[in-house]
Amino acid sequence: MLDKHTTIVVIGAGAIGGVTAAALKITGRNVRLVCKHAEIAARARTSGLHISGIKGRRTVKLNAVPAIEDLGGPLGLVLLATKATDCVAAATDLLPFLKSDSVVVSLQNGICEEDLAEVVGRDRIMGCVVGWGATMLGPGELEMTSDGDFIVGNIDNLPDDNLPYVRDLLDSVVPTRISANIMGELYAKLIINACINSLGVITGVRLGKLLASRQARRIFIAIIREAMDVAAALEITVAKGGGGKLDYYRFLAGDGFVDNLKRHLFIRAIGFKYRRIKSSSLQSVERGRPTEIDYLNGYIAAQGRAKGLPVPINHAVVAMVKDIESGSRKIGSANLAEAIFSDL
């Protein structure tokens, strides 16, 4: 069982991982950081990571190494903050250093918990929703861009004596709560990311301009409908998204003109409020890196296929994003006019 003597390891020195590791170190925690690049690990050890943003500016030195194999073991608590595309490989590298009672907390976008559980075992995986934002300005330069929370829980909704420890630990970063429905919480975030991230890649515009488009809003709604059909088939009770403001069940209720108008107005308001947001998946494509589409719309599409449910819009979105990644399709709003979207 985890206790005050547990060494905490954060895997991934990107925006979320770096800010989390720094916040834990500031509060006196025994934390180690694994960076993907040796130069960032060296900077973290010597001059430190520079953290800016809504909670002020700090420079924090960390015990950092460039690779998981440099850690040694055994490891008690691991906060896995890699990109979703890298999490299974990281878990595989971690496996030799884990104890039977080690805890691995997944901090990814999308739903990675099932894939991680196949590698390290279901009893070691703890689900976590990251409800706050950060960005990497440059190597070792991180900015916390928005406040929010962590939500943690057992992926099988079973009692877990380690949950209060992890809650109290992460509470030193942002407010943290325990959920008895962590898969429903994760799915709620997945849906909104499947809309915003994928459509951001396809169109290449920021959220305000994206959701000013009626056609984009139609696709947004269609993605949600298919995702909720899949959730029902998986027997997942979807939590409220958007910081508790979006009840997906109420959002989709009714088929009349007024019901549909309300949906469009709600989405338009989101676009206006967060108009400057640029899809993290679009940023990945612009840097020549793969997106997390397989863990977002790809998850919905795969689960729909497994359950025999038609989810054509999510399948089409996945195919478009992969075409953009490969260079066979251009980014642009013209993609919203594809035939698959014509009847929405």
Start-end ranges of CATH 1.10.1040.10 in the chain? 184-341
Please provide the distance, in angstroms rounded to a whole number, between the alpha carbons at the two ends of the chain: 51
Q: What is the pLDDT of residues 299-309, one digit of tens each?
A: 999 999 999 99
Dist CA 93 CA 86 (whole Å):
11
Banded model confidence at residue 260, pLDDT cuts 50, 70, 90: very high
Banded model confidence at residue 284, pLDDT cuts 50, 70, 90: confident
pLDDT at position 3, please? 75
pLDDT at position 134, please? 87
Banded model confidence at residue 1, pLDDT cuts 50, 70, 90: confident
Picking from 162, 217, 202, 213, the residue whose alpha carbon sits closest to that of residue 329 is: 202
Dist CA 280 CA 272 (whole Å):
18
Where is 152: in which H helix or E strand? strand 150-154
Mean of the per-residue pLDDT values for the chain? Answer: 93
Cα 160 to chain centroid, rounded: 23
Share of the chain above pLDDT 90, in %: 80
Banded model confidence at residue 315, pLDDT cuts 50, 70, 90: very high
Dist CA 211 CA 199 (whole Å):
10
Q: Which of 59-63, 93-97, 100-104, 268-272 has the lowest mean pLDDT?
A: 268-272
pLDDT at position 279, please? 84
CB 282 within 8 A of CB 201: yes
Start-end ranges of CATH 3.40.50.720 in the chain? 8-180
Banded model confidence at residue 271, pLDDT cuts 50, 70, 90: confident
Distance (Å) of CA 99 to CA 73, 82, 123, 162, 222: 9, 21, 11, 14, 44
CB 8 within 8 A of CB 169: yes
Token pair belonging to 108: 């990814």
pLDDT at position 272, please? 86
Average pLDDT over residues 318-327: 95
Check pLDDT > 80 for residue 243.
Answer: no
In terms of phi and psi (left: phi > 0; alpha: psi -120 to 50; beta: otherwise), the region of 140 is: left
DSSP 3-state assignment of 92?
Answer: helix
Banded model confidence at residue 321, pLDDT cuts 50, 70, 90: very high
Banded model confidence at residue 161, pLDDT cuts 50, 70, 90: very high
Residues in the chain: 344
Q: What is the pLDDT of residues 53-75, one digit of tens each?
A: 999 999 999 999 999 999 987 89
pLDDT at position 281, please? 86
Place of tokens 């380690």: 162
Banded model confidence at residue 6, pLDDT cuts 50, 70, 90: confident
Looking at residue 342, its amino acid is S
Give me the CATH code for the 184-341 domain, please: 1.10.1040.10
Average pLDDT over residues 133-152: 89
- Domain with residues 8-180, CATH architecture: 3-Layer(aba) Sandwich (3.40)
CB 78 within 8 A of CB 19: no
pLDDT at position 139, please? 87
Banded model confidence at residue 195, pLDDT cuts 50, 70, 90: very high
Rounded to 10°, the helix 214-233/312-326 angle is: 120
